[in-house]
Every structure is written in C-alpha cells, then in structure tokens.
C-alpha cells in the first residue's frame, strides 16, 4: 500500500525564512530544533512534514499533547530482565523519531518536565532509559519542530532558551500570495500524485542540497573570527547565558554548508542572527504585520518582518556592533 503523499516543501509559497530555519536544523540537528510561534492555520505541520521528506528516513512523528513520560522515552520490562537476564525495551516516541522529524504541536501546553526531557535528548542525540538499576540507551537523532500560540500560554524562559532557533508568524499575507497558496492547495487536494510528480524535480534538488550540506558540515571550521563576532553581538544584544553564542555559531556554519561555502562568512552570521536571538533577548514582542515587505526592505529590529505567513526573518545586526542593541518592548 502506497503512503499518502505529503504536500512538497518545494511547492510552499514564500516562507523563505521559516524554510531556511528548518533546512539549517536538518543539516545540523545539534542546533536544537526550531520553535515556531504563531496562531493556528499557518501551515506549520505542512512545512514540518515537507522537511521530513528531505531526510534519509522520511520519518515524521508527532508527539501527542497528552503523552506520558513512558510514551515519550519508552519502557523497560523488568520481568523479562529477571527471567531472561536481559532488558526488554519497548520503544517510545523518541526511538521512533530517530533519523526523522519529531513534531510537537502546542509545546507550551506540555508539562515542563516533558519539554525539558525532550530538549535534553534533542541536544544529545541519545535517549537513556533507566529503571531499578537496569538501563537501555538508543540513538535519538531527530529534527525537533515545536509550535506554540503565545496567546495560549508561554514557555518558561529556561525552556524557551533551549530551543535552538525561533521563528514567529503573524498570519497576515498579501492577497496575491494568499491566492497562490490556495490555488496550489486546491491542486494538491484534487490530485496529490500528479501534483507531487510535477514538483519532484524541485524536491530532488532540495534533498541533494541538504545531503551535500550535511556531508560538508564537518569540514567547515568553527573558527575564532566568526566566534568573536558572534560573542560581541550576543553581548550587545543583552542575552543571558552562552547558549545563544553556541547555537548562532552552529547555525552560521550550517548556513555556510547550505551555500556550499568552505568557511563561515559574515553573510552566514547575519543570515541567522534573528533566528538565534529573537527568543533569547530579555524582552521580545510578537511580530507586527508588514504585508508585502521583504526582509531586505526591513529597517526594524533584528528578526521583525514577514514572509508567506508573516514569519520573522533572520534580519542582521550591524556587523561588529558593540553598542547596546534596543531590547524588544514588553508584551501587553
């Protein structure tokens, strides 16, 4: 039986900044995933499913909102361990997501301890299950995609910071783009196989580009010059802790690999600035709708603006900035 076709990522209209953030975490899952903020109906799950098609396993696993810790990490059968002398492990969501995408809708509504555990495994790429002195360890390397509507509750700052990249959507889209989005969706719904066949060439190119970038990643140095720029700009932005520096550096290297470059350049650092800083400033605000304005036309704070669904682009901070960068206004 053939799997139901998914809407191809290459056919998604606009959303260039959000797609870029997804590509970067697919290239280097150690970045720590993407947190997408915004209202319902923004095609977040469509983008996440499309990303899974670009990975080797094609695996797309959703974590149910009411999941228990055992459902997430898996379970150990102690009776089997006592009678057979070995730990019998029943895999959970983390094991099933290995090599693919783990999608967590409304992550802000999950219990904090589950979010903490989820982020730990996403960062380490390994899940360790222990019970009564018996343990089992397995690979859990996945691209973590979390979504949330801030109006339904915020994540604690400690958890928010642990998501690698952050993109915000506002829901305001120019009429021409809205029409194009609807038309492609109607064409897909009427004949998914034909629609996917028409976009297969573009999908193949995306898969090849992601694969080449993953293969080249280790050869691109995390050099001191790039790190110096990033640490200065993190200090100027007033972010707490050091996670922003590390994530920004990893994301810049992934962006260099995405470009096919051999070293991190200023354009790589600039391209991912908003993604790395938006949720780590001491104060930040939801995106203001700016219909029809492209990231290159923005003269606002880093990270403000819109694409297909009004997402936050990776607007650059001034190169080598040492002055204090304005903080985001307090949310109402």
**Known catalytic residues?**
243
Parallel, antiparallel or unpaired: strands 143-148 and 101-104: parallel
Structure-token pair, residue 86: 């070995």
Reference 153, options 107, 115, 104, 113; nearest CA is: 107
DSSP secondary structure letter of residue 220: S
SS3 138: strand
Buried b (16+ CB within 10 A) or exposed e, 186-200: eebeeeeeebbeebe
Q: Which two tokens stand for residue 303?
A: 């990270």
Instruction: Report the C-alpha gap between 170 and 188 in whole angstroms.
Output: 25
Q: Using a CB cutoff of 8 Å and minimum separation of 24, what contacts does 267-270 make?
A: 268/226, 269/226, 269/229, 269/230, 269/233, 269/316, 270/314, 270/316, 270/317, 270/319
């Amino acid at each position: 039986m053939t799997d139901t076709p998914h809407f191809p990522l290459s056919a998604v209209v606009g959303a260039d900044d959000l797609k870029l953030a997804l590509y970067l975490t697919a290239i280097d899952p150690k970045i720590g995933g993407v947190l997408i903020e915004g209202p319902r109906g923004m095609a977040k799950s469509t983008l996440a499913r499309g990303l899974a098609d670009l990975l080797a396993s094609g695996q797309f696993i959703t974590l149910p909102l009411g999941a228990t810790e055992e459902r997430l990490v898996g379970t150990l059968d102690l009776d089997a361990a006592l009678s057979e002398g070995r730990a019998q492990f029943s895999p959970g969501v983390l094991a099933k997501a290995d090599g693919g995408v783990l999608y967590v809708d409304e992550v802000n509504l999950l219990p904090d301890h589950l979010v903490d555990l989820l982020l730990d495994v996403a960062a380490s790429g390994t899940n360790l299950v222990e019970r009564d002195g018996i343990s089992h360890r397995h690979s859990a390397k996945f691209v973590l995609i979390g979504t949330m509507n801030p109006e339904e509750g915020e994540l604690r700052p400690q958890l928010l910071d642990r998501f690698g990249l952050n993109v915000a959507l506002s829901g305001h889209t120019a009429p021409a783009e809205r029409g194009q989005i609807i038309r492609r969706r109607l064409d897909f719904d009427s004949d998914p196989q034909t629609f996917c066949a028409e976009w297969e060439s573009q999908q193949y190119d995306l898969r090849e580009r992601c694969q080449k970038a993953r293969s080249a990643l280790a050869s691109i140095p995390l050099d001191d010059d790039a790190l110096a720029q990033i640490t200065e700009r993190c200090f100027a932005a007033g972010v707490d802790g050091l996670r922003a520096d590390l994530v920004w550096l990893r994301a810049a290297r992934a962006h260099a690999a995405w470009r096919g470059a051999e070293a991190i350049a200023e354009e790589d650092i600039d391209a991912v600035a908003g993604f790395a800083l938006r949720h780590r400033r001491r104060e930040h605000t939801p995106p203001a709708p700016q219909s029809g304005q492209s990231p290159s036309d923005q003269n606002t704070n880093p990270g403000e603006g819109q694409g297909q669904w009004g997402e936050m682009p990776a607007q650059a901070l001034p190169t080598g900035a040492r002055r204090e960068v304005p903080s985001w206004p307090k949310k109402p």
